[in-house]
Structure 1
Amino acid sequence: MSLFRQAIRHLIESVKTAKSDQKRLVYRFQGAPNIDSIDWADAQSLYPKFYWQSRDAHQETMALGQLAVFSGPIDVDLLAEDQRVWGGSPFNKPYVSDCIPTPHFFVLPLIELIREGKQWSIAVNLNQHRQDILDQLKKIVTELPLIPPLSINVSKLTHCPDRADWCELVNRVLAGIDSQAFKKVVLARKTTLKMNGIASAAQLLKSSRANNYNSFHFMFSMDESCSFVGSSPERLFVKHQQNLSTEALAGTVGRGESASKDMALANWLCMDAKNRHENCHVVDDIVERLIPYASPIDTDSEAHLIKLRKVQHLKRNIYAHLKPNTSAVELLHALKPTAAVAGLPRKDAMTFIQKYESFNRGWYAGSLGFIGRHQAEFCVTIRSALVKANEIELFTGAGIVSGSVATDEWDELDKKMSTLLSLLDDSHELEAVS
């Protein structure tokens, strides 16, 4: 009998004998099961599906089903010690999509496959409807086919806005900055890829996880028709008890073709006044938003370099001690959208984006993560894609500040987009899609 089939059988028997007030059962594997969590999820028919891997790759969770749904405040005191509610919210609160049809969506899943370091476990959350839970557990597939590598190609690529409209929009922002209407606006681009076959969110996620390091990897699927996936380098916040860590990730340059060129680009980024100025804007904005909720608040004195597969970023860490009873939901409302994905001042930048951007960002530049009794963590959902049948929508953004050049910012979008596009079709290099 496989380790996984044994685990499911154990959970089924444990559910049958669990006490009426028991909220969660956990089975810990002795040794690593011979499965991949993404393969496991792709084989299941239970929705919604939520995948999360922490940026340091130490924690990984694949959550299936929903025992409870939360669209408002979450009372973490009602959760068991190690229960987590998974979900997030889109960039703009009123947004509702066919894929995730509520402005905020958090679920207590039915079942979770969990890895912490090398320790694997599988857990089931409980309510009073035990027979329903047993019925769902019996449907779990235990003999798993491996997901084949990506084998589809891009047949058509369309940008919204196109290059000409982008340049016009950037110049409109720069005029607003000159007139002191705002300091910064983050503009986004949606790139629609028509594929020559059915696109698999699981395939894209698995390929991205294997290639894009120093990133949060995530997937959220309400049903088989649509999935939101991504590999984000940016943390919104992590909360442990009353300790908070967040960051300003702003300022970007590409990677060099050789070690010497890469170092030259890194040195340029660290010294470039425009990028350093942009990073400082984000730091100041986050600190200002945290003041009602935390004291003291400390920041790195200097930005340091983060190297990813396709780009390099400037990053400064921010640490804070939270005031008593500050909840993760309050922090979500306070911090998002940050200046790194919206602009400054936030209200004025958001007004501009809603008026002039020609598409709805949806869950791009929103937040995804988890809330537990004592811990919560969320990433900013950049470097992301919406996967639907034979169509994939890729999302990227660039911060426009004084000194920005429209064509340079367009090139930056291409570099960021290559995080996922390069996994889909090697023939579409950055010059070809510009």
Structure 2
Amino acid sequence: MAAFEIFGGNRLSGEIVPQGAKNEALQVICAVLLTPEKVTISNIPDIRDVNKLIDLVGMLGVKVEKVSEGTYTFQADAVNLDTLYSPEYGKKATELRGSIMLVGPLLTRFGYAVVPQPGGDKIGRRRLDTHYIGFQKLGAEVGFDEDSSHVKVITKGLKGVYMLLDEASVTGTANVVMAAVMAKGTTTIYNAACEPYLFQLCTMLNAMGAKISGVGSNLLVIEGVESMGGCNHRILPDMIEVGSFIGLAAITRSELTIKNVAREHLGITPEIFHRLGINFEFRNDDIYIPQQDSYEVQRFFDGSIMTIADAPWPGFTPDLISVALVVATQAKGSVLIHQKMFESRLFFVDKLIEMGAQIILCDPHRAVVIGMNHEQSLRGTRMTSPDIRAGVSLLIAALSAEGRSVIDNIEQIDRGYQDIDGRLRALGADIRRL
């Protein structure tokens, strides 16, 4: 098991380019199964979760070719469904929550899909009902084999229908959309997730021949087509990395420029960090963060304490709640962090408290952070990365802390961040991989 050793307290400087969006990559790579024609995808991040998915589609018989760094071609003209039952496929699929999104494309194109219980971050209950109920409404039968722990989804032909999703699940919406593109008739999906990842997926599907209207909204109308073709698609910059680097610059009192951020797809993310007192400016499609010795948390108009809460898009993404919490530990003022969507995502704060942060964990969803305004630095310590987002948040905390920190289980961080230690060293960070 690998670890990061960090000597914190250094100010960083320079430019950093965000990787391709992990969550988008997982969706659009699954979509290549919709067509026997060649699909080219660029700006694919070189991270564990995405590489596992590329291996999975390769095991299914998809021809995968790496054209250049970050660019691959996929051709699913010889898919072998028998692989779904192989132990090797099952083992790899259970390690990756994104493997569930293979079901929609397989179901609509071949009428059949099998999936083991997927893995992923242990951040609380993450039910899959939205996926399976959506498939059932389209006319599929869903069954669970207790002996093999596999879910089997079959259909003699999907049919368009009106559906109201019980939750605005990003992966659930993506899966149902991919299943509906070749269903007979019209499918209307209300309460659809509308994150930039879905915008990108629907844009790619339309380029492949789908007929999806309402792209970017929570009401999608899909006219089923007979078949899908190939296309070229480029993945957006990862907005989670963009937010992480804004927070990193602030807490380390560094001057950084984040390049090529796709500003129009960042939503409310920059505004949330502005509420924490962080100054920055857009320079064309870059974000420039000047060195700040202090940043003060805003208050609401009535003078009450600021609350930072996650919400479905266009609200603040839950993937950045952990970063916002860490940044608040060195702000001037106090803030209530309210993580609504996952009940285990704030449990990493005990590590921050050990480092000297002033945090009151109210319950699994809420924490009050009393900022120290850099009057007292965090202390280096040894800790373990529990999941991708908490892991990078602890890394940001360690980079601002005085002394030596060691973060174990960094495989979790590697699942979502490409060469993060190398890119941070280029900014002046004292970090190495053990």
TMscore range, shorter length = under 0.3
Return the TM-score normalized by structure 1. 0.27
